[in-house]
A = this chain, B = another copy of it.
Amino acid sequence: MTAEPDSALHADAAHPSRREQILQAAARLFAERGSRSVGVDDIGAAVGVTGPAIYRHFAGKDAMLAEMLLRISERLLAGAEQVLADAGDDPAAQLAGLIAFQVDFALDNPALITVQDRDLGALAEADARQVRRLQRRYVEHWVGVLAALSPGSSTADCRARAHALFGLINSTPHSGGRLSRPVMQARLTAMALAAATA
């Protein structure tokens, strides 16, 4: 409580605004129990306020979930496009970049990974459609790279392979985390690379 939240515009990592605190706490709780099992009172308590205080910052519980999932999808898509731009025209380098990016994201944000693929169905249809559109674009970037690396494969085949790689990399939240981060990072990267070129 010592530091002033002063301007609430920036997402300062050291002193996040109350709104950001709520989103982060909600993400953690949603990941642990599922969005339907978490009450607004729980979310409020996690940041030291009562339940209804949430409504000063969000239109409702579903709006929180929608913003959460939209942000995740946007960050992933933007990250992938940045990676592809940086990697030049070499498909092998692009694949390595995408894998490294996804591994980093999954290790840094296990809760978001969990929520993203568990609670998409809890969104209103309009929001769900928009999230799926972003996810689809993200997947298609992977599909393009995989197709460039294996000209004989169909698009559907590449898509299945991409989903399998996501499953592999996103297994992090289930792995208990008894391994140090660099070791885990190396393991997942190696396995994903081996699986991708199988």
A187 at the interface (CB under 8 A from B): yes
Contact with A37, one of B122, B159, B170, B179 (Cβ below 8 angstroms): B122
What are 18 A-B contacts defined by CB distance under 8 Å? A33-B121, A34-B36, A36-B37, A37-B122, A118-B118, A156-B178, A156-B179, A160-B179, A161-B187, A163-B174, A164-B175, A164-B191, A167-B167, A168-B171, A191-B195, A193-B198, A194-B197, A194-B198
Contacts A34-B118, A174-B166, A178-B156 known; A195 to B192 CB distance under 8 Å? yes
A18 to chain B, nearest CB (A): 27
Residue of B nearest to A153 (CB): B187
Are B174 and A157 in contact, with the CB atoms below 8 A? no
List residues 108-162 of chain A with CB under 8 A from any CB of chain B.
Answer: 117-119, 121-122, 156-157, 159-161
Most B Cβ at <10 Å: residue of A166, A171, A184, A194: A171
| Given A194-B198, A198-B194, A187 and B168 contact (CB-CB distance below 8 Å) | no
CB pair A171–B178 under 8 Å, yes or no, is: no
Nearest-CB distance from A131 to chain B (Å)?
A: 14
Q: How far is the CA of A175 from the CA of B157 in the complex (A)?
A: 10
**Shortest CB distance A124–B (Å):** 13
Query: Looking across the interface, which residue of chain B has its beta carbon closest to that of A155?
Result: B178
| Residue A183 at the chain B interface, CB threshold 8 Å | yes
When each residue 59-70 of chain A gets 1 if its CB lies under 8 Å from chain B and 0 otherwise, what string results?
000000000000
Asked if A176 and B157 make an inter-chain contact with CB atoms under 8 angstroms apart, the answer reads no
**Contact (Cβ within 8 A) A190 B179:** no
A22: Cβ under 8 A from any B Cβ: no
